[in-house]
Amino acid sequence: LYTWDLATGERTESRMPKIEKEKAKNAGWPVTNRDVSKVAVPRSDGRIEIWEQSDAPPRILRGHDGPLALAMSRDGKTLVSTDKKGTTLVWDLSVAEPTGRPLFQGRPLAAMNLSPDGRTLVARDSDPTSRAGGALATWDVASGERRASIDPAAVGLGHIDTPFLAFSPDGRYVVGNPK
């Protein structure tokens, strides 16, 4: 894993330990907190490695089966993870444990991200029966309550097929790329 200091343009890979690349496909993308002091790396067997800026080995989170998608809060205290079977967990990274019951079960998510304050999850379902490849929705992370949703095809926006979703800095808008 490499990091760069954008002010100097210098690579700072010494700040994070070397993370072995996995040969298995569909292991997911690593995510990081705002200051890159913590990185979560999904593994194809369902493990999540939490690397921090130290020489210590990673902490291992277990609770999933198969490939994962991840979203980390900017402060690095919360991680949301989902697997191919649709189990979505919210983790308290200070204790490396889920915060409680799964946020969802049986609802595979293809893309997700946390709002700047870490309290709202935006996600795209990976529902193959949907005309749009899945609806976009936001949920309260603490309660699991759905806040808002949209079927992009139903409102003329086309098929949203991006694996990436992003919040605006103020948390009011979500950015996704229609096909």
> In which residue are the tokens 């204790």 written?
95
Q: What mean pLDDT value characterizes the chain?
A: 82
pLDDT at residue 80, rounded to an integer:
95
Per-state percent for the chain, helix, strand, coil, to nearest 5: 0, 35, 60
Percent of the chain with pLDDT over 90: 31
The rounded distance, in Å, linking the Cα atoms of 45 and 43 is 6
**DSSP E strands, 62-154:** 68-72, 78-83, 88-92, 97-98, 109-114, 120-125, 136-140, 146-150
- Which of 155, 109, 105, 113 shows the shortest CA–CA distance to 132? 155
pLDDT at residue 75, rounded to an integer:
95
The most confident of 79-88, 129-138, 161-170, by mean pLDDT: 79-88
pTM of the model: 0.83
| pLDDT tens, position by position, 100-145 | 888 888 888 878 899 999 999 998 876 655 555 567 889 999 998 9
